Amino acid sequence: MIPLPSDGSVTVAGRTPRLDVEAVEAVVTLPTFKRPEQVLETLASLRAQQTGRRFAVIVMENEAEARAGAKAALPL
């Protein structure tokens, strides 16, 4: 795994427990800025996808104060 920058510019709010990173075949990046409802809708849509590929989702919160999108995604 690539280490995080030491300048504090990147924060990891959460990770999926027991994620087998070696089994992931594709990564979906989901940028968000003050749109928690849309993040939840998009994550539900991704969950409903029919695919044989194992994929991971990275939610990238672009709002450093409230971080509403990241907070909405964390319980999932």
Task: Please check whether residue 40 is in contact with residue 32, taking contact to mean a CB–CB distance below 8 angstroms.
Answer: no
- Give the model's pLDDT for residue 31: 95
- Give the model's pLDDT for residue 12: 86
The structure's pTM equals 0.81
Token digits for 4? 């995080």
69 pLDDT band (50/70/90 cuts)?
very high
> How far apart, in whole angstroms, are the C-alpha atoms of residue 28 and residue 44?
13
- Give the model's pLDDT for residue 2: 72
Boundaries of every domain in the chain: 22-73
Tell which phi-psi region holds residue 74, choosing left (phi > 0), alpha (psi between -120 and 50) or beta. Answer: alpha
Residue 1 has pLDDT above 70, yes or no: no
Interior angle at CA 72, CA 9 and CA 37, nearest 5: 115
Q: Write out pLDDT tens, residues 22-68.
A: 999 999 999 999 999 999 999 999 999 999 999 999 999 998 889 99
> Pairing mode, if any, of strands 26-32 and 55-61?
parallel
